[in-house]
């Protein structure tokens, strides 16, 4: 499914809403200098979004979060984070030690950048969904929070007492640590709460995993299959779709199929089958397997391997199937071991480690 990006109309509606809040916040703010420091990220973000619009548009979810974050900054700019009236009332009503609006602001400082980073990392095929994505997004959000603390420090050094409202420590010696901690909590919360909704807008498979099948690549599905990509960190381990199809077009012994989850192409698998070229040879070669970076971690690769092995066992005269992999890609070696492949102790001419699987069921189990 394609990515659901925000329309021009949606951009303009959010721009008007943020603009109205900005205008309101600029009317008699508590401290003009603090107001400027707090609200300036909003116009900067708007300028960046406008500049990138012809080439990149965020999903409606992330774009809305950016707008909400800008409004949070503008409210804090109008009153200063230590004196937002609603949170003053909450402080007095419940006997709290401080005005906690700044905690809300720093929670948002992790919550929103985390979703922005998540979208960029997934859509640019830098990282697939999973634990590493969660970890690196949290690191990015925490880094942004730390940089913001540096900015507060530098502003305080250069402007002296006039930056006190901008710092908003309210006498808490651990305020900086609390700010970064709240950003980290916000980042983790965003991914846990909004991850599935975000996946839906990114056009990723969600909910029940689709039934996996292998299909021929035809004129009707070549464009969708051609858009499949592995993550950036995997490009040195497996060739892409375009190279695979080009190489296969020059050989008669290549069996290439698209991996489908229901009606959605999610990857590609290919074997070298000598019988397709009329050669009577007992050994097939598991030539290529890739799963789109956005679809990884859902078991599609394992199911595709099982289906490809079923095809290999159905070939007349086939006795065994071989595979090789880049030594640094230990995960794929472990994956193939689950299917009964065993290392031969040899490496091919490219330095890749070879594994072999007997296609006779009794021999494979032995």
User: Which are the contacts of 317, defined by CB distance < 8 A and separation ≥ 6?
Assistant: 275, 280, 281, 282
Residue 366 confidence class, pLDDT cut points 50, 70, 90: very low
The confidence score (pLDDT) of residue 189 equals 97
CA distance 363 to 353: 22
* 133 plus 236 within the same structural domain: no
CA distances from 200 to 2, 58, 112, 209, 228 (A): 10, 13, 18, 13, 17
User: How would you label 115-124 residue by residue, b for 16+ Cβ within 10 Å and e otherwise?
Assistant: bbbbbbbbbe
* 108 plus 218 within the same structural domain: no
The confidence score (pLDDT) of residue 363 equals 45
* 196 plus 245 within the same structural domain: no
* 136 plus 236 within the same structural domain: no
CA distances from 40 to 33, 44, 72, 175 (A): 11, 6, 12, 22
Task: Give residue 134's Cα distance to chain centre.
Answer: 8
Counting every residue, how long is the chain?
A: 366
| 206 part of a folded domain | no
pLDDT in tens, 274-329: 999 999 999 999 999 999 988 887 889 999 999 999 999 999 889 999 999 989 88
* 14 plus 156 within the same structural domain: yes
How confident is the prediction for the chain on average, in pLDDT? 89
Question: What is the average per-residue pLDDT within 186-213?
Answer: 85
Beta bridge partners of 355: 323, 343
Structure tokens at 354: 């070879």
| 1 part of a folded domain | no
Among 87-96, 249-258, 320-329, which is the least confidently predicted range? 87-96
Return the percentage of the chain with pLDDT > 70, whole number: 92
Structure tokens at 304: 């595709």
| 239 part of a folded domain | yes
| 31 part of a folded domain | yes
Is residue 332 classed as helix, strand or coil in its secondary structure? Answer: helix
User: How would you label 1-23 residue by residue, b for 16+ Cβ within 10 Å and e otherwise?
Assistant: eeeebbeeebbeebeeebeebbe
The confidence score (pLDDT) of residue 135 equals 97
* 124 plus 188 within the same structural domain: yes
Q: Which of 157, 182, 201 is the last residue of a domain?
A: 201
C-beta of residue 292 within 8 angstroms of C-beta of residue 266: yes
Mean pLDDT highest for which of 9-23, 98-112, 196-210, 282-296?
Answer: 9-23
* 224 plus 329 within the same structural domain: yes
Residue 308: give the domain boundaries: 212-365
C-beta of residue 252 within 8 angstroms of C-beta of residue 276: yes
* 90 plus 163 within the same structural domain: yes
C-beta of residue 134 within 8 angstroms of C-beta of residue 122: no
C-beta of residue 155 within 8 angstroms of C-beta of residue 78: no
Structure tokens at 283: 């050994």
- φ/ψ of 268, rounded to 5, equals -150, 140
User: How would you label 191-222 residue by residue, b for 16+ Cβ within 10 Å and e otherwise?
Assistant: beebbeebbbbbbbbeeeebebebeebeeeee
Residue 205 confidence class, pLDDT cut points 50, 70, 90: low
CA distance 166 to 152: 7
Give 151: exposed, middle or buried? Use CB within 10 Å, 0-12, 13-18, 19+: exposed
State the Cα torsion 146-147-153-154 to the nearest 10°. Answer: 170
- φ/ψ of 250, rounded to 5, equals -100, 5
Among 76-90, 162-176, 223-237, which is the least confidently predicted range? 162-176
The confidence score (pLDDT) of residue 33 equals 86
| CB-side neighbour CA atoms (13 Å) of 352 | 16
Q: Which of 201, 236, 258 is the last residue of a domain?
A: 201
CATH number of domain containing 232: 3.40.630.30
pLDDT in tens, 109-160: 999 999 999 999 999 888 888 899 999 999 999 999 999 888 877 777 777 6
* 194 plus 218 within the same structural domain: no
Question: What is the average per-residue pLDDT within 77-86?
Answer: 90
* 127 plus 171 within the same structural domain: yes
Residue 1 has pLDDT above 80, yes or no: no
Question: What is the average per-residue pLDDT within 258-281?
Answer: 94
Question: What is the average per-residue pLDDT within 5-9?
Answer: 95
C-beta of residue 183 within 8 angstroms of C-beta of residue 141: yes
* 89 plus 187 within the same structural domain: yes
pLDDT in tens, 216-252: 999 999 999 999 988 777 777 788 899 999 999 999 9
């Amino acid at each position: 499914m394609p990515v659901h990006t925000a329309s021009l109309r949606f951009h303009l509606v959010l721009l008007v809403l943020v603009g109205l809040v900005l205008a309101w916040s600029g009317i008699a703010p508590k401290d003009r200098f603090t107001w400027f420091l707090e609200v300036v990220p909003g116009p900067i973000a708007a300028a960046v979004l406008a500049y990138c619009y012809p080439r990149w548009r965020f999903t409606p979810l992330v774009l809305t979060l950016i707008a909400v974050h800008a409004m949070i900054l503008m409210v804090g700019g109008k009153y200063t984070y230590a004196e937002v009236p609603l949170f003053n009332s909450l402080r007095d009503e419940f006997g709290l030690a401080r005005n906690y609006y700044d905690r809300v602001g720093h929670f948002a400082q992790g919550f929103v950048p985390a979703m922005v980073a998540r979208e960029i990392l997934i859509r640019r095929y830098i990282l697939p969904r999973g634990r590493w994505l969660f970890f690196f997004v949290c690191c990015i959000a925490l880094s942004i929070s730390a940089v913001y603390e540096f900015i507060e420090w530098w502003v305080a050094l250069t402007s002296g007492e006039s930056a006190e409202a901008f710092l908003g420590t309210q006498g808490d010696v651990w305020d900086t640590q609390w700010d970064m901690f709240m950003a980290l909590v916000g980042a983790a919360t965003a991914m846990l709460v909004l991850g599935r909704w975000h996946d839906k807008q990114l056009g990723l498979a969600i909910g029940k995993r689709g039934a996996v099948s292998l299909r021929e690549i035809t004129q009707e599905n070549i464009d969708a299959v051609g858009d499949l990509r592995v993550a950036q960190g995997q490009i040195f381990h497996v060739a892409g779709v375009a190279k695979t199809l080009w190489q296969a077009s020059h050989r008669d012994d290549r069996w290439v199929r698209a991996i489908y989850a229901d009606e959605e192409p999610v990857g590609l698998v290919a074997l070298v089958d000598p019988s397709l070229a009329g050669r009577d040879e007992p050994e097939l070669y598991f030539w290529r397997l890739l799963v789109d970076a956005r679809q990884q971690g859902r078991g599609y690769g394992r199911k595709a391997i099982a289906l490809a092995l079923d095809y290999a066992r159905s070939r007349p005269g086939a006795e065994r199937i071989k595979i090789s992999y880049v030594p640094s890609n230990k995960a794929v070696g472990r994956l193939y071991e689950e299917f009964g492949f065993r290392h031969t102790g040899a490496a091919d001419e490219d330095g890749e480690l070879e594994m072999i699987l007997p296609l006779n069921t009794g021999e494979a189990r032995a």
